[in-house]
Amino acid sequence: MTGLLSRSRPVIAVVGATGAQGGGLVRALLRDPWQRYRVRALTRQPAARAARALAQAGADVMHADLDRPGTLAAALAGMDGLFAVTDFWAHFSPERELRQAAQLAAAAAAASVRHVIWSTQEDTRPDGGPWCVPPMDAKGQADAFFRGLPTTYLLPSFYWDNFIHLGLHPLRDASGVLQWSLPLGGARLCGIAAEDIGHCVAALFVQGEGAVGERVGLAAEQLTGAQMAQVLSQVLQEPVHYRAVSPEDFGRQPFPGAAELARMFAWQQREQAAYCAARAPQVARALHPGLQGFAQWAQSRADALRQLAG
């Protein structure tokens, strides 16, 4: 499945190529009308259906495991660019995520990669110490591993796709009314379609050296729960009632990651001004003028949302 790469064009290696961020980037690079880059799609499972689809679309698919540094050295050899991302939700261990980031940065340095885009988050602990918001803190701490490299620091926001894939969609109560419970209070949620992150990252690779050293926040819109419920009411053609629940109540729900998501929502609610300021929507729209707003995204997923709502 892995083929020889032509050196007539720069080659971008994409970690997590079958995931939300990495997969969107691979597709964006492959669909580039100017075909400026070749793509090496890195995955732990090159024989999986999603990986095979990327190979059929034109990507060079190669095995890489963030827990096995030897595979990273081979995967990054000769690469011009690297999209680096770690996935807390695959194992729920910030310690493991930190080790993976360190190994990834070391492999990029050894391969002399000319442009790294590192998908990170804020470290919510002002002075380090125990993990406060595990899905964010390890990524923020790992920024230090990339500081000696030509790195652009990417700050994604909440994927609207999580409303479908994580079960955070509206649900009917006993009377049949659609209720939408989120731990947002009256705060704004920075959100973006996962696929659009890939388009924005592709644009940053085109900028090249001009983007090195920058921290680039990505959000398509910043909306309150009530505003999003109004959009969903129009899309589903029936009222959706937003119910603000406490992070504590949200975290007690019986699904994996509920407690970690609750901490993340609570911190973003408390630090709303700084978090939103770091993710001004005009930045993402300048990178990708075709950026989807929440209404456009929800309309494109209307059938799935209706089915989930029941």
Question: What is the percent of the chain with per-residue pLDDT over 70, rounded to a whole number?
Answer: 98
State how far the alpha carbon of 4 is from the alpha carbons of 1, 13, 19, 62, 266, in Å. Answer: 10, 14, 24, 11, 47
Q: Which residues pair with 46 in a beta bridge?
A: none
Mean pLDDT over each residue of the chain, to the nearest integer: 95
Lowest-confidence pick of 35-39, 67-71, 165-169, 303-307 = 165-169
Residues 6+ apart with CB under 8 A from 37: 9, 10, 11, 12, 29, 80, 81, 205
Q: Higher-confidence residue: 161 or 3?
A: 161
- Whether residue 5 is predicted with pLDDT greater than 80 in this model: the reply is no
Q: Higher-confidence residue: 309 or 281?
A: 281
Lowest-confidence pick of 4-18, 100-114, 218-232 = 4-18
Task: Label residue 126 by pLDDT band (50, 70, 90).
Answer: confident
Task: Label residue 102 by pLDDT band (50, 70, 90).
Answer: very high
CA-nearest of 149, 202, 163 to 27 is 202
State the chain's maximal CA–CA distance in angstroms: 63
Q: What DSSP state is assigned to residue 45?
A: -
pTM > 0.75 = yes
| Average pLDDT estimate for 292-310 | 95
pLDDT for 238: 96
pLDDT for 262: 95
pLDDT for 7: 55
pLDDT for 310: 82
Task: Give tens-digit pLDDT for 59-98.
Answer: 999 999 999 999 999 999 999 999 999 999 999 999 999 9
Q: Higher-confidence residue: 253 or 26?
A: 26
Task: Label residue 6 by pLDDT band (50, 70, 90).
Answer: very low
Q: Which domains does the chain have, with CATH numbers?
A: 1-155 (3.40.50.720), 157-193+219-277+292-304 (3.90.25.10)
- Whether residue 1 is predicted with pLDDT greater than 60 in this model: the reply is no
| Average pLDDT estimate for 295-310 | 95
Ramachandran bin of 290, using left for φ above 0, alpha for ψ from -120 to 50, beta for the remaining angles: alpha
- DSSP-derived 3-state class of residue 28: helix
The DSSP secondary structure of 232-262, one letter per residue, reads HHHHHTS-EEEEE--HHHHHTSSSTTHHHHH
Question: What is the percent of the chain with per-residue pLDDT over 90, rounded to a whole number?
Answer: 93
Task: Label residue 127 by pLDDT band (50, 70, 90).
Answer: confident
Task: Label residue 2 by pLDDT band (50, 70, 90).
Answer: very low
Amino acid code (one letter) for 69? P
